[in-house]
Structure 1
Amino acid sequence: MRGPTIGALFGYMGSTSYISNTSAGTYGGLYQAGTHGPTGGKPYGSYDYCSMPHPREYQLPEQAADGKAKLVKLVYLQRHQRRTPYNILPGGEDQAYHCDNVRPYLYGGPSSDNGMQPVPVYAQTYEDPNDPFKTGVSVNSTCQFPQITIGGIEDGYQHGKDLRNVYQKRLGLIPEQPNERVWFRSSESPLTQASAGAVLRGIWPDYQGALPLHQMVSSVDTVNEGYSCNAVSSTLDKIKSTAQWTEHIKVTEELRSRLASMLGAQDSSWQETFDHFCDNFQARLCNGYRLPCSVSNSSDCVTMQMAEEAFRAGDWEWNYYWRTNEYATTYIQVVEGLFIGEIVSDLKGIQDGSSSIDYSHIFVHDGDIGPILGALGINALRWPGMASNVAFEVWEKEHSQFARVLYSGYPVQTIHGPLDWLPLSQLINIMNPYVPENITSLCG
């Protein structure tokens, strides 16, 4: 990615001083969007958490400028579009979330048109005030948590339009209509499924048919930590036992204590990492809401300075999880190694001529994008924002195969150099160490 947002973090975000440096602010990052519409950080290529850059201002590799190179394969991974939070404040939410402008469709139908096509029903959330199982924490909402928002849907449609303009109209890889050489997958989450519908409509605005969105059985899914592996938690425990993690906890102690008191968030799930605080604050700011206040004191509110420190802490944690801690390789293997192996296998299919898919698009989560970027050796990793995307391109030129890997529109800057044009075999060699030889043994 261009500009200071990523490049300037290299060598700096490894220190906890990044978290406590109030002058850093958001370090050039953008964290606000309205309720409606696609977002587009300015300048293009900025770290925009609410909607990471789509591949819009696409630049051909220098080696393809002579017209002798051809794009033959695209494996496109993306996080879902923006959404409501996973984590509702334990002390209660002082704002109502509204999702009446979104229809999460829920229905099944036969594979052939036999006159039994279903009514397209959708979920409409409501609360019964007499429900005896209602907790004392009220969210006063017409949303499920998490749920894709109207801004996420609109941004997803624009995401698809940008893909069409680059990979169909300009590079000629994506077909005019879906065919047997395209393939789609998502996690089991409604978030990724809803994003797929919006993005694919942007790619094919006039297509009238249905499309299969492949999913694994959730208990063995190789994305979104679907399968059970004891080594995931044991490795994470080791990571959180390091001196660097302890220092990070010490540096953020004052902020965590302040937020705990204000928002009723004393539970360990809120205090051991910044995942929950960041998730709640990001979802608010990315959908036109303000930062939270105490439900018992409306003048006691989270300030933007506090949120910025939380975001810096979240960035530090992601970079530490997947790049700089001493157990990073093992952690990537146990969390994402099987999926990385699937990508490697797909790329090898181009090498040996067995691949029958030109374009695959896989809708996943930040917890999938992070370890993949870690395996690629990205110089510095900020929390992968909404709709963050990794494009694996394979090009053919003069009977040789080359690869590019773009992160949110630009070649990934890595410890191996820019992944802008390298032999396909070299990219496979970079990723291979993160594919476990025996995952069952590794997981214990």
Structure 2
Amino acid sequence: MRSLKTLATTWLPLAGQNGTRDVSWYAPNKTWINDLKQVLNGTGTYGFNFNGSVLPSGVAYGAYNWCNMPHVRREEYPEAREGYTLQYVEVIHRHHKRTPYASNTFPKEPYRWDCDDQGLFYFGQPLNPSGNASANAYWSVFTSDTNPFIASGFNGTCQFPQITREGLDDSWQHGQDLFGVYHDLLGFLPDELGNKVTYRVTNNVITSQVAGMLINGMYQPESPVPLRIQPAGVDSLEPQYSCPAASSLYSSYGVGSSASNWTAHLTAANSLFRSLDSISRIASGSVDWHKSFDHYYDNLSARQCHAKPLPCSISDPTKCITQQQADTVYRLGQYEYSFIYRDSPQSLQAAVGSYGVFLAELAQNIRDHASGKSPIIYRHNVAHDGSVSRLLSILQVDVMVWVGMGSEVVLEIYERAGYTGKKYIRILWGGQILHSSIPTLGKVDMLDLDVFLGYIDGLVGSKASKVVDFCKL
């Protein structure tokens, strides 16, 4: 990320051209994130924040904040150069902060996690105004004294996962900030919702929890708003469609791999794993908890984002996970994401296989608007870290991070005065212009749209034909 902020660009080209379209993998910049020695021997988190939605005093907006990542807002928005007129916007962002997933909680947690300050609303409602209406019903989580099968993990009144009250507030503010730019500052968005603006979510309900708050932050609509969603099992946004070749490729070099360039950091962190396991009561032979730092990262960061203490041992309350240990987990998590999605030369093909359908849809959305086939000028997609990470992998961002809560990529399409019919693209990552390691993209600021679409077409093919062929392998 750029404020993430003044890192230089390095290109290490490999073979792999498609005519004039360069679809090669290019290595990301060298930073502490992908330097295992600095990750293992460093201290702290190199300025990355894990302690709440609001940055510490004196830290400027734009710094990495796992709990509430920087996004487009009026104060820092880089306005386009004179002569360019905004035509189309598509946003994809990770949901906001939440409880951990149940699979990432310890067998027995040392304290409760309650969510009594919000309701999770799930009900069907006839759209015909003459039909019967539904009650405004929401889930209220409880634990029965009679039920002998008590869930492991946290006791309390939350679903694991669910967007927390603080995450809902962040979602609403995210909507306010986007509206403050694209409506108030630029006069681009319409005053009211209509057929020019759409919202899309995944099959995971937490994205709908975010979307409802974000939409209200933008428009405060009085009528129900449709959330576009693809069927379970083939959803391209999450992604859920089956691509065994991509899954096999990821597992050949990343999580679960026995490749030495993956296992090196796990082997070096053996003593850390033993210390964490002794407090969490995770079995030393638990493959899921030890094939990456994903589980410990999610567990600890979710606590700290919500000002909850780091956990202590149930049997010995004086034995606790320290901040130094948590920081090491966070550094190792950043290293893993950079390796999986950018540092490995195989990462580009794996991302194209598993996320290429969404890129094909994105390209078609842009073309449909440019040709006048679609009236939509603003599309917003609420997704997950695996969604945004794969998108950044395909865009070959020059510095890869573990995309935090609310991470956002915005694609803006422009016309230039005096260049009728010619389109240009600008991509914003974390609210600022994205820098790609691939020379044909570079700093994606008023790049010829045909160059960008040529790159995407070269990777995924017409109607994702190359993705289909790859996924059959």
Q: TM-score, normalised by structure 1?
A: 0.93
The answer to whether the Cα contact below 8 Å between 2:49 and 2:55 also exists between their aligned partners in 1 is no
Equivalent of 2:40 in 20, 25, 49: 20
Equivalent of 1:334 in 353, 363, 379: 353
- Structure 1 residue 5: Cα displacement: 6.0
8-17 or 212-221, larger mean C-alpha shift = 8-17
Amino acid at match of 1:431: I
Describe the SS at the equivalent of 1:218.
coil
Describe the SS at the equivalent of 2:137.
coil
347-356 or 409-418, larger mean C-alpha shift = 347-356
Equivalent of 1:195 in 204, 210, 227: 210
Describe the SS at the equivalent of 2:121.
coil
Q: Is 1:424 matched up with 2:443?
A: no
244-253 or 358-367, larger mean C-alpha shift = 244-253
Amino acid at match of 1:330: Q
Equivalent of 1:139 in 130, 154, 160: 154
- Which residue in the other structure is 2:282 paired with? 265
- Which residue in the other structure is 2:426 paired with? 404
Equivalent of 1:204 in 213, 219, 222: 219
Describe the SS at the equivalent of 2:465.
coil
The answer to whether the Cα contact below 8 Å between 2:77 and 2:181 also exists between their aligned partners in 1 is no
The answer to whether the Cα contact below 8 Å between 1:153 and 1:198 also exists between their aligned partners in 2 is yes
Describe the SS at the equivalent of 2:316.
coil
Change (3 A) 1:217 1:305: same
- Structure 1 residue 354: Cα displacement: 2.8
- Structure 1 residue 153: Cα displacement: 0.7
Alignment of 1:161-310 (within 5 A): 161-205=176-220, 207-239=221-253, 240-266=257-283, 267-310=286-329
Equivalent of 1:89 in 101, 105, 109: 105
- Which residue in the other structure is 1:415 paired with? 437
Alignment of 1:48-87 (within 5 A): 48-56=65-73, 57-61=75-79, 64-66=80-82, 68-86=83-101, 87=103
Q: Is 1:357 matched up with 2:379?
A: no
342-351 or 173-182, larger mean C-alpha shift = 342-351
Deviations 1:219-238 (A, max 9, x none): 11112231222223311221
Measured in 1, the distance between the counterparts of 2:458 and 2:343 equals: 16
Equivalent of 2:388 in 352, 369, 383: 369
Measured in 2, the distance between the counterparts of 1:65 and 1:90 equals: 51
Describe the SS at the equivalent of 1:355.
coil
Deviations 1:182-240 (A, max 9, x none): 111000111100100001100013x2111110111111111223122222331122113
Change (3 A) 1:374 1:146: same
Deviations 1:128-186 (A, max 9, x none): 12213225x35211000000100011111111110111001111221110011111100
Measured in 2, the distance between the counterparts of 1:237 and 1:148 equals: 29
Measured in 1, the distance between the counterparts of 2:250 and 2:153 equals: 33
The answer to whether the Cα contact below 8 Å between 2:87 and 2:414 also exists between their aligned partners in 1 is yes
Deviations 1:4-33 (A, max 9, x none): 56738930333311320223x211111011
Measured in 2, the distance between the counterparts of 1:126 and 1:219 equals: 30
Measured in 1, the distance between the counterparts of 2:370 and 2:200 equals: 23
Change (3 A) 1:365 1:235: same
- Which residue in the other structure is 1:439 paired with? 467
- Which residue in the other structure is 1:3 paired with? 3
Change (3 A) 1:183 1:244: same
Q: Is 1:109 matched up with 2:125?
A: yes
418-427 or 278-287, larger mean C-alpha shift = 418-427
- Structure 1 residue 115: Cα displacement: 5.2
Measured in 2, the distance between the counterparts of 1:140 and 1:103 equals: 17
Report sequence identity in percent.
30
Deviations 1:49-102 (A, max 9, x none): 0001131134344xx443x32111000111111100013433311121110001
Measured in 1, the distance between the counterparts of 2:6 and 2:243 equals: 32
Deviations 1:102-136 (A, max 9, x none): 1100111111222511111000000012213225x
- Structure 1 residue 246: Cα displacement: 2.1
Amino acid at match of 1:301: C
348-357 or 376-385, larger mean C-alpha shift = 348-357
Measured in 2, the distance between the counterparts of 1:6 and 1:228 equals: 38
Q: How many residue pairs are counted as aligned between the two chains?
A: 434
- Which residue in the other structure is 1:125 paired with? 141
The answer to whether the Cα contact below 8 Å between 1:97 and 1:142 also exists between their aligned partners in 2 is yes
Measured in 2, the distance between the counterparts of 1:182 and 1:223 equals: 18
Measured in 2, the distance between the counterparts of 1:111 and 1:149 equals: 29
Measured in 1, the distance between the counterparts of 2:252 and 2:377 equals: 41
Cα RMSD for the two superposed structures: 1.9
What residue ranges of structure 2 are gaps of 5+ in the alignment? 9-27
- Which residue in the other structure is 2:19 paired with? none
